Chain A
Amino acid sequence: MKWFISPKELRRRGVVGMNQRNAWFIAELNPRRNYPLVDDKLITKKLALDAGIAVPELYGVIETNHDIRNLARIVGKHDDFVIKPAHGSGGNGIMVIVGRMRGHFRKASGQIVDQASMAHHVSNILSGMHSLGGQPDKAMIEYRVHFHPMFEEVSFQGVPDIRTVVYKGYPVMAMVRLPTRDSDGKANLHQGAVGAGIDMGSGRTEHGVWHNQIIDLHPDTGAPISGLEIPGWDRLLALAAGCYELTGLGYLGVDLVLDRDRGPLMLELNARPGLAVQLANSIGLGHRIAMIDAGTEGANTPTAPAAERAAFAQTHFSAEAARRRTP
């Protein structure tokens, strides 16, 4: 591997750079006023429910310190649940409870917490300790995702999720983000998670990328990353495409999880999705985006319904279609 790649080759592969993303996609297609829709996870959840998109069930919200006494009532009979800040970023401030033990709670790490320290955590969230800019926040208590057994072998703690970049309502590229020991159970690539590219046609994973290096085996478990078939890929893509209508953001990152019992759930949306997805798929976004632009004839809002857009992505962006194009 050379220690750098020429701009010419990057352009040939259609790789989108940071400047291009900021100037062409985010500044042009993402109206500032719509940002609160994705930055506040409560609003996102409500919009998704209204549109009939499945999300992790919300058990309750705590907005003021006075309401913390309702915590026990909200938690109710649930044995496992997640507490997280509504404006959190980078997976900070999330407390995952996986079970109960004689009136105490057990965290995903195995640590035991009592009700009081759980209340303290909520209080910290309310004071803005985990939110962007430190403004006062709300705490959400919601369903804990039981991820699909197919990911058992390739994740280390945490929940793997599927990041899809949606351009003007069309899914363009996707990757599975697998938590590692490095990433501390979080699914962010810059924190050390593995990203594995997905063939848009079949929903099968390809090789992965970890710390900007291309890898084939999970760094912690040693299991192969490629060749995992994501069940219900068509439905999943349609779901991702449908998230465009929720927000009106033309360049959008959709994070979905695959629940063992409930199927694909929408976890959160991102108005400034990063560019690592290109590394995970070994290809740039540029050529696919050009195809979408050609299809919509430059209009910024799609006319086709979500399912049709997903189908367009499946037929045009699959590995097979790429092989057909380059004989």
Chain B
Amino acid sequence: MLKRFHLPLVILVLCSASLGMFFHKVYNLGFPLLPAQTTDNWIVEARVSFEPTGGAVTARVFIPNDPGRFALLDENFISRGYGLTTDLSGENREAIWTTRQPSGRQSLYYRTTVSQLERERRTEAPYPGPVSLPNLEEPYRSAADAVVQRVRERSADITSFATVLIRDMNNTPDENMTLFVSRTDTDRDKVRTAIQLLAGARIPARMVHGIPLSDRARDLQPQVWLEVHNTRQWIAINPNTGAVGYPSNFLVWWYGDQDPVRLQRARNPHISFAVTQNFQDAVDVAQQRAQLMDSRAVDFSLFGLPIQTQNMYRVLLLVPVGAMLIVLLRNIVGVQTFGTFMPILIALSFRETQLLGGVILFTLIVSLGLAIRFYLERLKLLLVPRLAAVVIVVIMLMLTLSILSHKLGIEHGLSIALFPMVILAMTIERMSLVWEEHGPSDAIRQGIGSLAVAVAGYLLMINPYIDHMFFVFPELLLIVLAVTLLLGRYTGYRLSELLRFRALSGRGNP
């Protein structure tokens, strides 16, 4: 009796807990069921970390100060045991964190909500006046003069002067330019050189650091831009192309040629940025309402976590859905795949490579790897060294494909590095075993099966609705669990068996 009702009971409890929570959140707290359609809010998080060297630590970190096309809606400073002040230093604003006795690696967070403005505020900036000529030594002085002369001949005003100069620096430098530019220059070096050369034409210029806002970006590093003053306002110039004006999603963080983090009695500063598009507005309201109602529901919400972690869970929360799909396809449909959850890992990497590119790259790597594996077979290696050899070969193949596709200008080729290579190596190994033992047709069928499951998983995982549902209502995972348990007791026929046993149809009576 108990045994018979055990599983249905567990499933019932899981489902009712999940649905109860879900409906409470939807009806009583008003969490949104649909992902935000249009949103121009972004949450940007800067994570600063460093190692104290002993004694009281001061960390000065640049924070945005009235960036032109964005409005700062909200700011949070997250730290433990630190005193905080903010201060203006020149054009920049900085946060100054101080503490007396830190130990171990320290992490500080600055989080801000920015909203894109409909129209850029065209701020007139007072003209700082022509800059003084830089004090250069020969042969740099005459080379700089020659460069300025050549650029001036081909430009009409200050903006076009800067554009032409940047193009000259990036394209084919003449012998004068080669004194200033080298192939290994970073963007920052380029901007530095450009400021110097512009000074030769008495044009005021400055370096700008900022970050491009794109949804769910993690570990972003600031980009460097150049601004020149055309006597009325500052004009942004792309240091690589010479193009004028920032892209619409560029958030200016600080000005000048300084590091974003300056430390006293600490070392190894590291700063990285994470960005997420903010559909929290509705969620925020719901959370505030929940707090007023003193509901426990939001204590377990994902929105309290740091954004880097939130973005990671966005992906992780979809893995259970993919796993359920695998169960469905394997035990109900009867699709054969290599490895149980390999297709889901492949599907995860398809998120980065896009579908078509991912499928092509996967097929390419697996078939090339398979060819190599058959060669290795002839060397009669033992299992573990053979697997290791396949992993090495797979990585070399990925490298080759990346370089080749980059040369050909196919950007998707670069994301190949996101494929889980150990999984690929195992897939190749298994496929070759099946090839040997059951023949090529079985191996190819299972390979196509794996790929089809991966594609199905990918299509499920990129669905923004599913993404939103599981992120806002993680309790729905309990239903996924319940369905998986239920499928675990399915002992009926698989769809593939209807084909397999078709020879029995119409042959006499049992």
Residue positions of A touching B, CB distance < 8 A: 1-7, 9-10, 12-15, 17-20, 23-24, 90, 92, 124, 127-129, 133-134, 190-192, 209, 212-214, 278-279, 282-284, 287, 322, 326
- Give A278 to B493 CA distance when docked, in angstroms: 14
Q: Does B280 have its Cβ within 8 Å of any Cβ on chain A?
A: no
A–B pairs, 23, beta carbons within 8 Å: A1-B502, A3-B499, A6-B498, A7-B493, A9-B504, A10-B493, A12-B510, A17-B494, A17-B497, A18-B497, A19-B492, A19-B494, A90-B437, A128-B382, A129-B380, A129-B382, A133-B383, A134-B384, A192-B439, A212-B503, A283-B510, A284-B510, A326-B510
The smallest C-beta distance from A213 to any residue of chain B, in angstroms, reads 6
Is the beta-carbon distance between B503 and A10 smaller than 8 angstroms? no
Query: Assuming A5-B498, A6-B505, A10-B504, what are 6 further A-B pairs, CB within 8 angstroms?
Result: A9-B504, A129-B383, A134-B383, A190-B438, A212-B503, A279-B501
- Give A9 to B507 CA distance when docked, in angstroms: 11
Q: Does B500 have its Cβ within 8 Å of any Cβ on chain A?
A: yes
Is the beta-carbon distance between B498 and A214 smaller than 8 angstroms? no
Total number of residue pairs linking A and B with CB closer than 8 Å? 100
Most buried by A among B438, B493, B509: B493
Is the beta-carbon distance between B510 and A209 smaller than 8 angstroms? no
The smallest C-beta distance from B508 to any residue of chain A, in angstroms, reads 7
Q: Name which residue of chain A comes closest to B331, CB basis.
A: A19
Is the beta-carbon distance between A279 and B380 smaller than 8 angstroms? no
Is the beta-carbon distance between A9 and B505 smaller than 8 angstroms? yes
The smallest C-beta distance from B337 to any residue of chain A, in angstroms, reads 14
Q: Name which residue of chain B comes closest to A20, CB basis.
A: B491
Give the chain A neighbours of B383 by CB distance below 8 A. 128-129, 133-134
Q: Name which residue of chain A comes closest to B437, CB basis.
A: A90
- Give A314 to B145 CA distance when docked, in angstroms: 108
The smallest C-beta distance from B391 to any residue of chain A, in angstroms, reads 15
Q: CB within 8 Å of A: which of B426-445?
A: 436-439, 442
Q: A90-B437, A128-B383, A134-B384 are in contact. Are A13 and B490 (CB under 8 A)?
A: no
Is the beta-carbon distance between A4 and B437 smaller than 8 angstroms? no
Give the chain A neighbours of B382 by CB distance below 8 A. 127-129, 134
- Give A1 to B500 CA distance when docked, in angstroms: 12
The smallest C-beta distance from A19 to any residue of chain B, in angstroms, reads 5
Q: Does B506 have its Cβ within 8 Å of any Cβ on chain A?
A: yes
Q: Does B334 have its Cβ within 8 Å of any Cβ on chain A?
A: yes
Q: Does B489 have its Cβ within 8 Å of any Cβ on chain A?
A: yes
Give the chain B neighbours of A190 by CB distance below 8 A. 438, 442
Give the chain A neighbours of B509 by CB distance below 8 A. 326
The smallest C-beta distance from A131 to any residue of chain B, in angstroms, reads 10
- Give A322 to B508 CA distance when docked, in angstroms: 12
The smallest C-beta distance from B45 to any residue of chain A, in angstroms, reads 46
Interchain CB contact (< 8 A) of B504 among A13, A18, A127, A191: A13
- Give A20 to B503 CA distance when docked, in angstroms: 20
Return the CB mask of B368-411 against A: 1 if under 8 Å, else 0.
00000000000010111000000000000000000000000000
The smallest C-beta distance from A10 to any residue of chain B, in angstroms, reads 6
Is the beta-carbon distance between B493 and A282 smaller than 8 angstroms? no
Q: Name which residue of chain B comes closest to A22, CB basis.
A: B491
Is the beta-carbon distance between A4 and B503 smaller than 8 angstroms? no
The smallest C-beta distance from A242 to any residue of chain B, in angstroms, reads 28
The smallest C-beta distance from A136 to any residue of chain B, in angstroms, reads 10
Is the beta-carbon distance between B437 and A24 smaller than 8 angstroms? no
Q: Name which residue of chain A comes closest to B383, CB basis.
A: A134
Interchain CB contact (< 8 A) of B503 among A7, A17, A213: A213
Q: Name which residue of chain A comes closest to B334, CB basis.
A: A18
- Give A3 to B505 CA distance when docked, in angstroms: 9
Give the chain A neighbours of B491 by CB distance below 8 A. 17, 19-20, 23-24
Is the beta-carbon distance between B494 and A18 smaller than 8 angstroms? yes
Give the chain B neighbours of A10 by CB distance below 8 A. 493, 497-498, 501, 504
Is the beta-carbon distance between A13 and B510 smaller than 8 angstroms? yes
The smallest C-beta distance from A18 to any residue of chain B, in angstroms, reads 6
Give the chain A neighbours of B510 by CB distance below 8 A. 12-14, 283-284, 287, 322, 326
Give the chain B neighbours of A6 by CB distance below 8 A. 498, 505
Is the beta-carbon distance between B502 and A3 smaller than 8 angstroms? yes
Give the chain A neighbours of B508 by CB distance below 8 A. 282
10 tightest A-B CB contacts, nearest first: A134-B383, A17-B493, A5-B505, A20-B491, A4-B498, A5-B502, A23-B491, A19-B491, A214-B503, A13-B510
Is the beta-carbon distance between B497 and A1 smaller than 8 angstroms? no
Give the chain B neighbours of A326 by CB distance below 8 A. 509-510
Q: Name which residue of chain A comes closest to B508, CB basis.
A: A282
- Give A140 to B79 CA distance when docked, in angstroms: 68
- Give A8 to B159 CA distance when docked, in angstroms: 79
Give the chain B neighbours of A18 by CB distance below 8 A. 334, 494, 497
Give the chain A neighbours of B489 by CB distance below 8 A. 23
Is the beta-carbon distance between B492 and A20 smaller than 8 angstroms? yes
- Give A215 to B276 CA distance when docked, in angstroms: 63
The smallest C-beta distance from B220 to any residue of chain A, in angstroms, reads 44
Give the chain A neighbours of B501 by CB distance below 8 A. 5, 10, 15, 278-279
- Give A155 to B492 CA distance when docked, in angstroms: 36
Most buried by B among A17, A18, A213: A17
